[in-house]
Amino acid sequence: MYYRLYLLNAAQRIAARDEFEAENDETAITIAGLPSDACSDLSSGLELWQGARRVVPDVKKQVAGHPNQSSIAITLELQNIVLEREEILQQSVWLIAKSKRLQARVDELRKARLW
């Protein structure tokens, strides 16, 4: 299934958008939550959609239930997906591409792949 992630700024306007594929809602929530956390210095929230359906009312609350979602805690496959999504955001024309937290997370995930 294809999902759309919208990262929102403080005014709750779209600061970035990304589309990705995930096998189910739970995986999509994990994939969406990690880049959202990585961009939290420039993004104050997010929305996750699958077609015309909003996946969950508040993804941040859903992701908050997984307190240790670091590069070590997620599977290698998910780690690669998240890294790809974060690199796309980083190389985008969206303002979110200037996120220092995003740069640090991308660097962290790249280093983790080397081990």
**Count of domains in the chain?**
1
Q: What is the pLDDT of residue 58?
A: 55
Q: What is the pLDDT of residue 39?
A: 94
For residue 88, what are the domain limits? 2-114
Tens digit of pLDDT for each residue in 51-103?
A: 999 997 655 544 544 444 554 456 888 888 999 999 999 999 999 999 999 99
Query: Cα separations (Å) of 101 from 29, 49, 66, 98, 106?
Result: 20, 24, 19, 9, 9
Residues 6 or more apart whose CB falls under 8 angstroms from that of 103 comprise 90
Tens digit of pLDDT for each residue in 19-38?
A: 999 999 999 999 999 999 99
Q: b or e along 13-36 (b: 16 or more beta carbons within 10 Å of the residue's beta carbon)? A: eebbebebebeebebbbbbbbbbb
pTM over 0.75: yes
Q: What's the rounded Cα separation, in Å, for the pair 69 and 103?
A: 17
